[in-house]
Chains A and B, each alone.
Chain A
Amino acid sequence: MTAINQSISGDTASLNTQQKIGAGIGATGLIILLLASFNVGFQPLWLWLTISLAAIAGGILWYTRATYVGHPEGIKNDGVYFRSLTSKGLYGYLAGVGLTGFYIILYFYPEYIGLVEGSSNEGIIQLFDPLSKSLNGNPASQWFVYGTLYTLAILFFGIKFIIKYRHSRYHIIRTASVMFFQLAFAFLIPEFMARLNGDGLNLPYYDLKNIWPLNYYNFDQYRVDKMINSGTIGMALLIFGIASIFIITPILTYFYGKRWYCSWVCGCGGLAETAGDSFRQLSDKSTRAWKIERWLIHSVVVFVTISTVAVVHSYLGTDTSKYWLTKSAFLWIVGGILTLIFAWVMLFKRHKFQKDALYGAVGFFVVIIAFMGIHGLSDTEHIFLVEKQTVRGGYGFLIGSIFSGVIGTGFYPILGNRVWCRFGCPMAAILGFQQKLLSRFRITTNGGQCISCGNCSTYCEMGIDVRAYAQKGQNIVRSSCVGCGVCSSVCPRGVLKLENGPSEGRVDDNPIIIGHDNQPRLQ
C-alpha cells in the first residue's frame, strides 16, 4: 500500500479547486455547529441553524457537481486508492477519530453538546430547538439533533450517489428509496406521531421501518404499555411490530432477498450506501474476516434474543385469568418457535452449512433452550447469575451504542461502511439466514466472461469475495449480501446480475464455466 501512495503523479490525489470550495462550504456548516457547542450564542437560532444545515447540504452538492457533472456517465473510482481519506491515510484516521468522538459524546456525554437536564437546552441542541418545535412541538434533544443530521446526510449524500451512478437505474431507484424511508419513516412520521400524542394517545417514538431485533427495545415494557394504552392505533403498531419480523420480513426476503431491507429501506444501510459509499473498498475480504463475521453476528442474535425474552418475561404476569400471555406461556411459545426453526434447519437444510456453522447453531440452540429452561423452572430475576436488567443494559450499551454507533459508523474510514451491518446487526443476520435458505434472490455469474480483475470484491462493502465465485462461474448466494448492486456496476465485462428466480439451480455447488467443451468435471 505504501508503495502505491508514494507513487502518485498528476492531480488524481488532490482535489480540484471546485471540489475544495465544496468541501470548504460543507466544513463551514460543521464549524458553525462546533462553535454552537461552545455556546457562541448564535442568534436568532433559526437563522444560524438554516445557515449551518444549508452549508452542509450545499457543500455536498457543490462537491458533487465539481466531481461528476460534465464527465461522461460511468464508474467513477479514479484515485480512490490515492486519496488519504479513502485509503486509510492520515485524513481517514482523523475522520475516524472525529466520527467516533461524536458518537461517544452523543451517547454518553450529551451535556457537551448542550443537553441540560430539567432546563432549557444550550449549545448545538438549542440551535435545533426551532426545527424541533415546528415538527413535534417540543424542544430538541440530542436524538433530534442526531436524527436531523443523519437524515441530512442520507438525503444529500444520496443525491451525490445518484449523480455518481446516474447511468444505473437500479442505483437511482434504490437510493431514492432509502432517501424516502429515512425522511418519511425515520424522521417525519415519528415526529408527527409525537405531535398527535395526548387525548388518550401516548404513542412511543416509533420508526416503523425499524424492525426487531434491530430496534431491540421495541418490546420493552414502557413501549408495549404505551402502545396498549393508545387504543386501536397503538394496538395496530404493536401488531405491526410483531408482524414485521414474523410475516412481512420472511415474505419480502423470499421474493427479493434481504436487499429489500438492507439497501432499500434500512436507515443504517441508507447511511452506509450514501455517506459511506466512499469507504466501501475498505471492507476486509479475507476468509479470516468472514469467519469472525459469522461468529460475531450470530452471537449478537443470541444475545438480543436472550435479552429481549428476559425483558418481556420480566413484565408478564403469572395469572392466566388476567391475561392469556403469562410468563410461562411466553417461554413455551418462544421455545417452540426456536425448536421448530432449529429442527427444520437440521432436517432439511443441514447440507447448506459449513461445519462450524452447524456446531455454532447447535451450541447457540442449547444455550437458548437452557436459558429458557432455567426461567421456566424458577421465577428468577437473573439470567445465568446476572440480573436481567444488567443483561438488557449490557446489550444496549455494547451492541446498541458501542457496536452500531461508535464502531459501526465511527469506523467507516477505517473498516469500511458496513461494519455494523456485517459483523453486528442481528436483523441482518436473521434476514441473511432467510436469504441463504429461503429466497429467490441470487447474483448470477455470466458464464465464462469473468477475468478475475477483482473490482467486484474490492467494492463489495460486505467484504464478500465476489470474484471467488465469479471466476468459477458460480452464482453468489451469501447470507451477508445486501444486494447493493455495486459489484455488477463496477464489473468491466458484464459478468454479474442481481436477480430473483426459481430456486432450482440457484445454488450451483459444482459450476461449469461456459465456453470450454473440455472443462474438467470434478466431483
Chain B
Amino acid sequence: MEHVVIIGNGISGVTAARYIRKMSDKRITIISAESKYFFSRTALMYIYMGHMSFEDTQPYEAHFWDKNNIDLVQDYVQKVNYDDKTLHLAETTPIHYDKLILAVGSKPNKFGWKGQDYHGVQGLYSKKDLDLMERNTRNAQEAIIVGGGLIGVEMAEMLLTRNINVTFLIREDRFWGGVLPLEDSLMVKRHLEKHNGLTLRLEEELEEIVADEEKRAKAVITKKGERIPCQFVGLTAGVSPNVDFLKGDQLEIERGILVNPDLSANIPDVYAIGDCAQFKQPNGQRKPIEQVWYTGRMMGETVAQTICGSPVEYKPGNWFNSAKFFDLEYQTYGWVWNELKEGEAEFIWKNDEKELLLHFIFDKESHEFKAINTFGIRMRHEVFDHWLNTNASIEEVIRNLKMANFDPEFYKHFEKEIIEAFNKQFDQNIKLAKNKWWKSLLPQ
C-alpha cells in the first residue's frame, strides 16, 4: 500500500490527510514536532487571553485519527533522504515514504536586529511560541511590538488582557499600510487607540534591543534614537517559510519550496503546500508565497486530488480574507489594494461613531465591481463571490446590498444611507432593491 507521509499538522497538512483518506485507503502518516493533535493556530491568542483551553482549539477528537486510520507521529524530522525516500527523525526510527507532502509552515521573521535573540524577545507563530510568551510576560508591565500587521495586533490584544502596556513600532506612516487603503487604515488605528494601554508609534523602527546582565531585554532603542523601557519585545514583522532543515542541493528552495501549479516540487513524489510553498509562477495577482489559513486549506485540498490520481492545479477562486482588530471585524472580497490601481474607482461609506466602513472598488469605465473591504458589517461570502464571478456592476451590488448583509438579526441596517451617499457622489438615482431571501440573488 502506498505510504503518504505529511510533515506538518497545520491546516494544510491535515486538510491534505483528510481528503486523501476520503478519496483512498492509502497509508497516511502525519509527523509534527509541535503537537500530537491538530489545533487551530489562529486560536492560540484565545488560550493566552483565557477564552479557550488548548483542547478547545483542536477541531477533531483524539479518536478521529484512529477512526480515519491516520497515524500521528510527534517528532522532529532531521533529514530527508530523497534518493531512498526515507525520513530521519530525532527519536523515532526512520520512516519510508512513497509520497511526501511538506507542510512545514512558517517561522517569525527576524531581520538581524541587534539583540533579537535576548530573553524576552520573540515572535508568535507556534504552540511553543505561545508557551514561551506565557513565561516571558509573567512579570512584564511594558511590551514593545515591532511590526504592525495582523499578528502584531493579536499580540497587542493578548498583552492588554494581562494589563501589560504595549507600544507598537510601525515602520509605515499608517497601520497595515502595505495592505489597507488610507481611510481603512485610519479606521483601524482609531479603534486600536480606544484601548487603554496601547500606544502606536508610526514611522518608527527598531534599532536595537538592550538587555540586562542576564541577557533579558530591558529596553529598545528606536531608529530615531528614543529609548523605551520594556520587559518584553514581540517581533511580528511577518513570517517566512520554515525550510532551513530542508536546505541542501536537491530540493529547490528560494524563500519557500519552489512548486509547480500542481504543488509538486522539483523532486519526484515530493509536494509542498501551505505557508512553505513558493509558486514558480504566481497565480494571478496573488503573491508567490501565500501565508493565509484559507490558502493553506485550499492547497491541502488540491494536493490530495493529485496524490489520489486525479491531478489538478492549485486554482483558488476569488480572493477573500478576514481578520479582527480587537473588536473591529474586517472582511474582504476581491482585491482592494492600498492604493487605487490604474482604471479603478472607489466608493467609501463610513460611520465613525459606530466604527463602520465599506470600501468598494470598481472599474472607472465599465463600473464593474472589483472588490470590497468591510469593517464592522458582516457580508455574505457567497453573494460577493457570485458578484465577482459574474462581473456585476457596482450599481447592482449597491442596490442589493441588504441581501448581502450577514449581520445578526435585529442589527441596525444602513443600506438606505449607503445608497443615498452613492447616488450623491456619483450623481445617480439607484433605489434599494426589494428585500428577498438572499439565495434568490444566486443562480438557481
Is B286 an interface residue, CB under 8 A from the partner?
Answer: no
Structural contact, B324 and A493, CB atoms closer than 8 A: yes
29 CB-based A-B contacts, threshold 8 Å: A4-B54, A9-B137, A11-B162, A73-B327, A74-B326, A79-B50, A446-B380, A447-B381, A449-B322, A451-B293, A452-B40, A453-B42, A458-B56, A488-B408, A492-B324, A493-B331, A494-B322, A494-B379, A501-B439, A502-B437, A504-B439, A514-B382, A516-B298, A517-B317, A518-B314, A520-B301, A520-B304, A520-B305, A522-B22
Given contacts A79-B161, A448-B294, 7 further A-B contacts (CB under 8 A): A77-B49, A170-B409, A446-B378, A454-B56, A494-B329, A518-B305, A518-B313
Is B47 an interface residue, CB under 8 A from the partner?
Answer: yes
Chain A residue with the shortest CB-CB distance to B405 = A497
Structural contact, B408 and A498, CB atoms closer than 8 A: yes
Chain B residue with the shortest CB-CB distance to A82 = B50
A286, A449, A497, A498: residue with the most chain B Cβ atoms closer than 10 Å: A449
Q: 1/0 per residue A453-471: CB within 8 Å of B?
A: 1110110000000011001
Structural contact, A72 and B50, CB atoms closer than 8 A: no
> A: which residues have CB within 8 A of B?
1, 3-4, 7, 9-13, 72-75, 77-83, 87, 167-170, 173, 281, 286-287, 444, 446-449, 451-455, 457-458, 467-468, 471, 485, 488-490, 492-494, 497-499, 501-502, 504-505, 513-520, 522
In the bound complex, what is the Cα–Cα distance between A492 and B57 (angstroms)?
A: 14
In the bound complex, what is the Cα–Cα distance between A11 and B53 (angstroms)?
A: 18
In the bound complex, what is the Cα–Cα distance between A436 and B141 (angstroms)?
A: 51
In the bound complex, what is the Cα–Cα distance between A498 and B301 (angstroms)?
A: 28
Structural contact, B294 and A4, CB atoms closer than 8 A: no
In the bound complex, what is the Cα–Cα distance between A4 and B134 (angstroms)?
A: 10
Is B428 an interface residue, CB under 8 A from the partner?
Answer: no
In the bound complex, what is the Cα–Cα distance between A447 and B58 (angstroms)?
A: 21
Structural contact, B331 and A75, CB atoms closer than 8 A: no
* Contact A78 to B408, CB < 8 A, known contacts A10-B162, A11-B163: no
Is B194 an interface residue, CB under 8 A from the partner?
Answer: yes
Distance in angstroms from B368 CB to nearest chain A CB is 20
Distance in angstroms from A81 CB to nearest chain B CB is 5
Which residues of chain B from 52 to 100 have a CB within 8 Å of any chain A CB? Answer: 52-59, 61
* Contact A448 to B19, CB < 8 A, known contacts A79-B161, A458-B52: no
In the bound complex, what is the Cα–Cα distance between A458 and B315 (angstroms)?
A: 33
Structural contact, A518 and B381, CB atoms closer than 8 A: no
Is B318 an interface residue, CB under 8 A from the partner?
Answer: yes
Structural contact, B329 and A492, CB atoms closer than 8 A: yes
* Contact A514 to B42, CB < 8 A, known contacts A454-B59, A498-B409: no
In the bound complex, what is the Cα–Cα distance between A13 and B315 (angstroms)?
A: 47
Which residues of chain B from 178 to 193 have a CB within 8 Å of any chain A CB? Answer: none
Structural contact, A452 and B331, CB atoms closer than 8 A: no
Using C-beta atoms within 8 Å of the partner chain, give the interface range for chain B.
Answer: 35 or more
* Contact A7 to B317, CB < 8 A, known contacts A73-B327, A168-B408, A515-B294: no
Chain B residue with the shortest CB-CB distance to A502 = B437
CB neighbours (8 Å) of A10 from chain B are 137, 161-164
Structural contact, B49 and A454, CB atoms closer than 8 A: no
Structural contact, B320 and A169, CB atoms closer than 8 A: no
Is B139 an interface residue, CB under 8 A from the partner?
Answer: yes
Structural contact, B312 and A447, CB atoms closer than 8 A: no
In the bound complex, what is the Cα–Cα distance between A498 and B23 (angstroms)?
A: 33
Chain B residue with the shortest CB-CB distance to A504 = B439
Structural contact, B51 and A77, CB atoms closer than 8 A: yes
In the bound complex, what is the Cα–Cα distance between A451 and B59 (angstroms)?
A: 10
Structural contact, A518 and B50, CB atoms closer than 8 A: no
Structural contact, A9 and B138, CB atoms closer than 8 A: yes
Chain B residue with the shortest CB-CB distance to A458 = B56
In the bound complex, what is the Cα–Cα distance between A351 and B317 (angstroms)?
A: 33
In the bound complex, what is the Cα–Cα distance between A485 and B320 (angstroms)?
A: 25
CB neighbours (8 Å) of A448 from chain B are 294, 320, 381
Q: 1/0 per residue B276-317: CB within 8 Å of A?
A: 000000000000000001100110011011000000111111
In the bound complex, what is the Cα–Cα distance between A12 and B163 (angstroms)?
A: 8
In the bound complex, what is the Cα–Cα distance between A77 and B48 (angstroms)?
A: 11
In the bound complex, what is the Cα–Cα distance between A505 and B438 (angstroms)?
A: 12
CB neighbours (8 Å) of A519 from chain B are 298, 301
* Contact A449 to B320, CB < 8 A, known contacts A7-B134, A493-B331: yes
Structural contact, A12 and B50, CB atoms closer than 8 A: yes
CB neighbours (8 Å) of A499 from chain B are 409
> B: which residues have CB within 8 A of A?
11, 19, 22-23, 40, 42-43, 46-47, 49-59, 61, 134-135, 137-140, 161-164, 194-195, 293-294, 297-298, 301-302, 304-305, 312-318, 320, 322-324, 326-327, 329, 331, 378-382, 385, 406-412, 437-439
In the bound complex, what is the Cα–Cα distance between A236 and B140 (angstroms)?
A: 67
In the bound complex, what is the Cα–Cα distance between A515 and B312 (angstroms)?
A: 16
CB neighbours (8 Å) of B139 from chain A are 9
Chain A residue with the shortest CB-CB distance to B136 = A9
Chain A residue with the shortest CB-CB distance to B55 = A1
CB neighbours (8 Å) of B379 from chain A are 494
Distance in angstroms from B221 CB to nearest chain A CB is 26
In the bound complex, what is the Cα–Cα distance between A514 and B47 (angstroms)?
A: 29
Chain B residue with the shortest CB-CB distance to A168 = B408
Chain B residue with the shortest CB-CB distance to A73 = B327
In the bound complex, what is the Cα–Cα distance between A13 and B161 (angstroms)?
A: 10
Chain B residue with the shortest CB-CB distance to A286 = B61
Contact of B327 among A72, A79, A87, A455 (CB under 8 A): A72
In the bound complex, what is the Cα–Cα distance between A499 and B435 (angstroms)?
A: 14
CB neighbours (8 Å) of A287 from chain B are 61
CB neighbours (8 Å) of A13 from chain B are 50
Going nearest first, the 3 A-B pairs with the smallest beta carbon separation are A447-B381, A74-B327, A10-B162
CB neighbours (8 Å) of A82 from chain B are 50
A79, A451, A499: residue with the most chain B Cβ atoms closer than 10 Å: A451
In the bound complex, what is the Cα–Cα distance between A504 and B439 (angstroms)?
A: 10
Chain B residue with the shortest CB-CB distance to A492 = B324
Distance in angstroms from B100 CB to nearest chain A CB is 20
Chain B residue with the shortest CB-CB distance to A470 = B59
CB neighbours (8 Å) of A169 from chain B are 408, 410-412
CB neighbours (8 Å) of B50 from chain A are 12-13, 77-83
In the bound complex, what is the Cα–Cα distance between A287 and B302 (angstroms)?
A: 29
In the bound complex, what is the Cα–Cα distance between A454 and B312 (angstroms)?
A: 31
Distance in angstroms from B157 CB to nearest chain A CB is 10
CB neighbours (8 Å) of B51 from chain A are 75, 77-78, 80-81, 455, 458, 490
Structural contact, B43 and A455, CB atoms closer than 8 A: yes
Structural contact, A170 and B54, CB atoms closer than 8 A: no
Distance in angstroms from A512 CB to nearest chain B CB is 10
CB neighbours (8 Å) of B302 from chain A are 518
In the bound complex, what is the Cα–Cα distance between A74 and B194 (angstroms)?
A: 12
Distance in angstroms from B434 CB to nearest chain A CB is 16
Distance in angstroms from B379 CB to nearest chain A CB is 8
Structural contact, B331 and A515, CB atoms closer than 8 A: no
Distance in angstroms from A82 CB to nearest chain B CB is 4
Structural contact, A75 and B411, CB atoms closer than 8 A: no
In the bound complex, what is the Cα–Cα distance between A515 and B135 (angstroms)?
A: 39
In the bound complex, what is the Cα–Cα distance between A482 and B30 (angstroms)?
A: 38
In the bound complex, what is the Cα–Cα distance between A499 and B380 (angstroms)?
A: 13
Structural contact, B411 and A518, CB atoms closer than 8 A: no
Structural contact, A453 and B320, CB atoms closer than 8 A: no
CB neighbours (8 Å) of B42 from chain A are 451-453
* Contact A516 to B317, CB < 8 A, known contacts A447-B381, A455-B43, A455-B46: yes
Distance in angstroms from B215 CB to nearest chain A CB is 21
CB neighbours (8 Å) of B329 from chain A are 492-494
CB neighbours (8 Å) of B410 from chain A are 169-170, 173
CB neighbours (8 Å) of A516 from chain B are 297-298, 301, 315-317
CB neighbours (8 Å) of A7 from chain B are 134-135
A1, A452, A501, A516: residue with the most chain B Cβ atoms closer than 10 Å: A452
Structural contact, B138 and A515, CB atoms closer than 8 A: no
